[in-house]
């Protein structure tokens, strides 16, 4: 099937892959294998990639479309793609009741690549959810989470796609109080940032584990808590990608912005606002001022 002939509106299965945002991210230690121990409050934004699947007799294959599909080269849709690796891992897990099929997967890449908001991890997690349903694998939550972990540190939290406290290297997940209604702006300057490089450059003492409240009375409560936390990777990301500092200043300068921070290992930064509408208005202004930036505004999942 040629890309031009792909009409995803006729596809049988669709799954959203929402962007993950680290409201704070503390690097609390380092394991002997080099992976870093984290403490993070993770939320999911209304922005995201979308995965479509049409079962068929042909071997399973992936097309990548969308604004950021174009920045990936042809090899990105090959066997190394996390979506294909997720499908193969799920196939291996499927028991007698599974109805594993081939067919066409289409990944609409709406999120910038290598940008600290999940991207590939969210795509892999969406593939696990979608194909578990489509193939009737009926994998347990524990099995899916274990499988997710083999695909990447952020894949387990993306599998759940709900507000979570994330610890360990990403595999220790505990429910965190859902945020009161608020708005979020996401901004990426267009420079891909290598996660391993940012972790390598991180310097200084490890941060402590945060003391998280059991619940939030209101948004001011959330802000007061997050204000006291930080992102241990922000400085290293600014060295690798200097525009991050500019992006943070521009988001923070927007009317109604309650706080601006970087997510994950960057370079995407976020701003929190009182309402999704206020966030959309700020996003419109930022987009007008910086046509080369990727800007999104809206609410949380």
Residue ranges for the binding site? 112-122
Q: Is residue 128 within the footprint of ligand C5P (CB under 6 A)?
A: no
| Minimum CB–partner distance for residue 131 and ligand C5P (Å) | 20
Q: Is 169 in the site for ligand C5P (CB under 6 A)?
A: yes
Residues recognised as catalytic: 20, 154
Q: Judged by CB under 6 A, does residue 195 bind ligand C5P?
A: yes
153 binds ligand C5P (CB under 6 A): yes
For 145: left if phi > 0, alpha if psi spans -120 to 50, otherwise beta; the answer is alpha
- Residue 13 interacting with ligand C5P (CB under 6 A): no
Taking the least distance from each CB to ligand C5P, the nearer of 139 and 153 is: 153
C-alpha of 250 from chain center = 22
Pairing verdict, β 183-188 and 172-175: unpaired
74 burial level (CB within 10 Å; 0-12, 13-18, 19+): exposed
- Using CB under 6 A as the binding criterion, the count of chain residues that bind ligand C5P stands at 11
Q: Out of 119, 156, 170, 266, name the contact with ligand C5P by CB under 6 A.
A: 170
Among 23, 38, 86, 279, binds ligand C5P (CB under 6 A): 38
Structure tokens at 193: 């940032």
Q: Closest distance between ligand C5P and the C-beta of residue 275, in Å?
A: 32
Q: What are φ and ψ of residue 146, in 5° steps?
A: -65, -40
Q: What's the CA gap between 81 and 63, in Å, rounded?
A: 11
Q: How far is CA 178 from CA 42, 125, 154, 164, 298, in A?
A: 10, 21, 19, 8, 17
236/265 Cα distance (integer angstroms): 8
- Smallest gap from Cβ 124 to ligand C5P, in A, equals 10
| From candidates 14, 36, 66, 212, binder to ligand C5P by CB under 6 A | 36
Q: Which stretch binds ligand C5P (CB under 6 A): 8-16, 152-160, 185-193, 206-214?
A: 152-160
* Alpha-carbon dihedral 38, 42, 45, 49, rounded to 10 degrees: 50
| Minimum gap (Å) between residue 265 Cβ and ligand C5P | 7
Binding site for ligand C5P (CB under 6 A): 35-36, 38, 152-154, 169-170, 195-196, 199
């Amino acid at each position: 099937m040629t890309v031009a002939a792909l009409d995803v509106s006729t596809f049988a299965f669709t799954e959203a892959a929402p962007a993950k945002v680290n409201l704070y991210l503390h690097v609390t230690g380092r394991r002997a294998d080099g992976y870093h121990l984290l403490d993070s409050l993770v939320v999911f934004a209304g922005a995201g990639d979308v995965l479509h699947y049409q079962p068929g007799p042909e071997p399973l294959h992936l097309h990548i479309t969308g604004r950021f599909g174009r920045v990936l080269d042809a090899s990105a849709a090959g066997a190394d793609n996390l979506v294909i690796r997720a499908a193969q891992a799920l196939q291996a897990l499927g028991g007698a009741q599974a109805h594993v099929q081939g067919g066409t997967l289409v990944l609409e890449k709406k999120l910038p690549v290598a940008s600290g908001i999940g991207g590939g991890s969210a795509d892999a997690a969406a593939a696990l959810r979608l194909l578990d349903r489509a193939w009737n694998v009926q994998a347990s939550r524990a099995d899916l989470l274990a499988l997710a972990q083999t695909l990447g540190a952020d894949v387990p939290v993306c599998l759940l796609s709900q507000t979570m406290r994330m610890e360990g290297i990403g595999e220790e997940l505990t429910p965190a109080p859902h945020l009161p209604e608020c708005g979020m702006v996401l901004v990426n300057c267009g420079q891909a940032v290598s996660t391993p490089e940012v972790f390598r450059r991180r310097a200084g003492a490890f941060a402590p584990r945060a003391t998280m409240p059991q619940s939030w009375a209101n948004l001011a409560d959330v802000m007061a808590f997050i204000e006291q936390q930080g992102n241990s990777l922000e400085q290293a990301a600014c060295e690798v990608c200097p525009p991050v500092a500019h992006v943070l200043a521009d988001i923070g300068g927007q009317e109604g912005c309650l706080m601006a921070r970087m997510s994950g290992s960057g370079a995407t930064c976020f701003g929190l606002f009182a309402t999704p509408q206020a966030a959309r208005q700020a996003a419109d202004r930022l987009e007008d001022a910086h046509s080369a930036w990727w800007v999104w505004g809206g609410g949380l999942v």
